[in-house]
């Protein structure tokens, strides 16, 4: 297990406007891909537990790219949370919420962004003390209009919409007061990985830095987090 300072979910969300959702099939891609994103200004990296190589990729990034903060995505079970932590992940993202996953992440010291798509799920996550949530799948489940509707009853919850978010619609989400960042897979395209086109990944990350400038975000957002 790692010995770096413990992060909060809010710190994970505030570090950059976009959290890349990454699918890696080859451990050799992990380190250059992470360095490419860091070079483009993105250091909170969600490596999804969707491939047999995912944990080894997390391990490699944690070991060799100290400028990055690697997290595990697609965390669905207690075993996922434990394995992610052992591999060096410092945060977890889940596609849904269960109290078991919430407790497992707490037990191993992983900041968790639990996924929600309904009011009842938000209430369950809140009951367990989670107030920074992933809205998933964001476009399919209602998009920015859904978040606007939730801002009334769930005025004390902050969201990271993920799923169907693109460079083009991200500003619509980021303009909402209850959205701190978005998540998306577009930053790490499968063909760029296959071709080893790290410059393209850096450019895709750089493109998202414009969001910080275009949006008059509160100064508290995107503060530098000590990692």
Among 40, 143, 144, 163, binds ligand 3PG (CB under 6 A): 163
Among 34, 157, 160, 165, binds ligand 3PG (CB under 6 A): 165
Asked whether the beta carbons of 222 and 17 are under 8 A apart, the reply is yes
Query: CA 28 → CA 19, 59, 61, 203, distances in Å?
Result: 21, 12, 10, 20
# chain residues binding ligand 3PG, by CB under 6 A: 10
SS (H, E, C) 120-184: HHHHHHHHCCCCEEEECCCCCCCHHHHHHHHCCCCCCCEEEEECCCCCCCHHHHHCCCCECCEEE
Interaction of residue 184 with ligand 3PG, rule CB under 6 A = yes
Nearer to ligand 3PG, 137 or 196 (CB): 137
Nearer to ligand 3PG, 113 or 216 (CB): 113
What is the rounded distance in angstroms from the CA atom of residue 170 to the CA atom of residue 209?
A: 12
Nearest distance, CB of residue 137 and ligand 3PG, angstroms: 6
Interaction of residue 58 with ligand 3PG, rule CB under 6 A = no
Could you confirm whether 214 is annotated as catalytic?
no
What is the rounded distance in angstroms from the CA atom of residue 212 to the CA atom of residue 224?
A: 13
Interaction of residue 185 with ligand 3PG, rule CB under 6 A = yes
Could you confirm whether 148 is annotated as catalytic?
no
Residues that bind ligand 3PG (CB under 6 A): 21, 136-137, 162-165, 183-185
């Amino acid at each position: 297990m790692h010995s770096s300072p413990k992060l909060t979910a809010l710190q994970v969300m505030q570090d950059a406007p976009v959290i890349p959702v990454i699918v890696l099939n080859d451990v050799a891609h992990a380190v250059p891909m992470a360095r490419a994103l860091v070079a483009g200004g993105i250091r909170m990296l969600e490596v999804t537990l969707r491939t047999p190589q995912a944990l080894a990729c997390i391990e490699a990034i944690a070991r060799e790219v100290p400028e990055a903060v690697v997290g595990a995505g697609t965390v669905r079970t207690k075993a996922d949370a434990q394995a992610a932590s052992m591999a060096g992940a410092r945060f977890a993202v889940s596609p849904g919420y269960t109290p078991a996953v919430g407790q497992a992440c707490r037990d191993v010291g992983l900041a968790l962004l639990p996924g929600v798509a309904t009011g009842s799920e938000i209430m369950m996550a809140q009951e367990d003390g989670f107030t920074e949530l992933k809205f998933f799948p964001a476009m399919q489940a209602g998009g920015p209009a859904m978040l606007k509707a939730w801002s009334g009853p769930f005025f004390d919850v902050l969201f990271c919409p993920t799923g169907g978010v693109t460079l083009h619609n991200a500003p619509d989400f980021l303009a909402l007061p209850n959205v701190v960042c978005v998540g998306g897979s577009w930053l790490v395209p499968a063909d760029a990985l296959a071709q080893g086109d790290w410059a393209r990944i850096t450019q895709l990350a750089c493109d998202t830095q414009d969001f910080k400038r275009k949006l008059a975000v509160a100064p508290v957002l995107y503060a530098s987090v000590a990692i």
